[in-house]
A and B are shown apart, each in its own frame.
Chain A
Amino acid sequence: MEMNQEGVAVENTPPSKKELKAAHKVWFKKQLFKQKELVLISIPFVLYILVFNYFPLTGWAMAFQDYSPAKGFFDQKWVGFANFMQLFSDETFPKVIRNTFFMSLINLVLGFVFSILFALLLNEVKNKTVKKVLQTVSYLPYFLSWIIVTGIVLDVLSPQTGVINQVLMTFHLINKPINFLADPKYFWWIVGFSNVWKNTGWGSIIYLSSMASINSELYEAADIDGANKLQKMWHVTLPGIKPTIFILLLINIGNLLNAGFEVQYLLGNGLVSGVSQTIDIFVLKYGISLNNYSLATAAGIFNGLISVTLIYLANKAARAAGEESLF
């Protein structure tokens, strides 16, 4: 701005590119001096993020090497895609991918169904105090650690003292207690419902706030039309939160190869290892326990690439859908 005015004041010809560049340089230096404090403060932050978030990326090279910790970076033996080949010729890894995928899918579906159902029903509670109490209780588990939650799951499912077996026995639905955690066919569902127990209340918050912003005239109009509660729920509330559901669904698709690993790691045991191992557990086992850094990193990269691709596609779809709903 200043430069333009000066240029106009001095002569009527517009300033040349060179002059502009020089003027910009002067301005830049002046600004830099003025905000030297900001610049100085930012330096340690940038160094920190480079060391702790960007530098470790060089570790990805290990996936293409026959990595040996004793050697320096440039002395490693490069093996191309051999580690990736080994991953997929191994019979465990495809199983691990299958486990990860299905457990994330179960988590996703159960998570959505229960959060939305809970929000819908809680929204129908008219007494403010009761509603508040129910909601407060519902998200307490979100703040508990997975260690505590899996401990609770073990207690509840215990064949000796667990309440589930007690109830099933009382109603004569089973003859003898089931050892749920020793049977591979239950494992994915146990993980899924552990997630439901921990996260449903928290997950419902966003739907409840979305419901609170639905125009009350819509309900009044429905009343005039003689709609009952169920019809209002179906024709007003649900369509009202549809955009929220849709966007969250798209975002969560990015997590389809991210089943977490804490629950599986903590609940898994030798009897169910065929269905409990996820990619992260595989990485932990090969990398840290067996010291095969190269294979573990290859598995990590494979997982990371798929996740990033899914997130990218989901974001793109979400944006496209968001723009569409604007018009």
Chain B
Amino acid sequence: MKKRVVVSDVILEIVKWTFLIFFTIATLYPIINTIAVSLNDGLDALKGGIYLTPRKFTLENYKSVLTQSTLLNAAFITVSRTVIATLLQVFLTSLLAYILSRKEFLFRKPITLLFIFTMYFNAGMIPNYLLMQRLHLLNTFLVYIIPGLLSAFNMLVIRTYMNGLSDSFVESAQMDGASYLTIFWRIIMPLSKPVLATVALFVAVGQWNSWFDAMLYNGFTQRLSTLQYELMKLLSSVTNQSQSVESMKHSSSMVTPTSIRAATTIVTMLPIVMLYPFLQKYFIGGLTIGGVKE
């Protein structure tokens, strides 16, 4: 290979690496910094100057987070809503996708349209709030689960995948007299695992990260608060006390709102980071599902 040095190529290399390295640092630094603060003595952290590693190492912040009953309860609620909603949504949305993928189904078109229309409008915050009120879902755990049981978009994603599956298994099962539900449960569900995993991960991340419903519908019920909502409360308390940093310096407690928040942030982030390899594996697949199949 002949190698000629072209000036513009060299400049491009420099620009490319500068940008990519800067970008990567900008992405990772705040996260590493939060870890460092969460492992640092609370009062010491207020002096500033903590970058990549803790200066006065302590596990006090985590101890304090993991012994607070409000946070533990919020974690329990968050895990419950995530698991229950994900399982239910994936099962129900794929059942819907399945019946709408059956070409012989007489009401396939109208029902599909009924669902697709919902992607283009939303009644809005107030009518939805009043509906929850009318259904007596305010201040209940079910308000996290019920309004999001079905998603038209996810239904379309799953249905596209199911349409790509070979019909031969279904036909032979029908010959054997298997019911629609049996075919769904025994044949279609197992064959659709990749798309179901993708959808499940997205639903789970969405559930884990949502906080607005906790504030809007269950804001007055502490026992139903979620991790993200608790984190939000910590956030606003930190913003409000930033002026009173001076007074904080004289307090005797080892932990401060800032250090508690850093520790809570890391605890809240951890499941996402742990799921990350799976997210990676499935979402690229999820993005290309539909086009490549068959």
Contact = CB atoms under 8 A, between A and B. Distances in A.
B145 to A, nearest CB: 12
Contacts of B12: 124, 229-230, 233
A246 B280 CA distance: 27
A143 B276 contact: yes
B176 interface: no
A297 B30 contact: no
A293 B128 CA distance: 12
Given A42-B107, A45-B150, A147 B16 contact: no
Contacts of B276: 140, 143
B48 interface: yes
A297 B107 contact: no
Question: Interface size bucket, B side?
Answer: 35 or more
B130 interface: yes
B8 A228 contact: yes
A152 B185 CA distance: 44
A266 interface: yes
A35 B127 contact: no
Contacts of B107: 39, 42
A56 B131 contact: yes
Nearest to B128: A56
A90 interface: no
A151 B265 contact: yes
Interface of A: 28, 31-32, 35, 37-39, 41-42, 45-46, 48-49, 51-60, 62, 69, 117-118, 121-122, 124-125, 134, 136-138, 140-141, 143-148, 150-152, 154-156, 158, 160-161, 163, 166, 197, 200-201, 205-206, 209, 228-231, 233, 262, 266, 269, 280, 283-284, 287-288, 293, 296-297, 300-301, 304, 308, 311
28 contacts: A35-B102, A38-B99, A41-B180, A42-B107, A46-B111, A57-B123, A57-B127, A121-B19, A121-B20, A124-B16, A134-B24, A138-B23, A145-B208, A145-B210, A147-B209, A147-B235, A147-B268, A151-B261, A152-B34, A155-B30, A156-B30, A161-B45, A228-B8, A229-B12, A284-B125, A288-B216, A297-B127, A304-B121
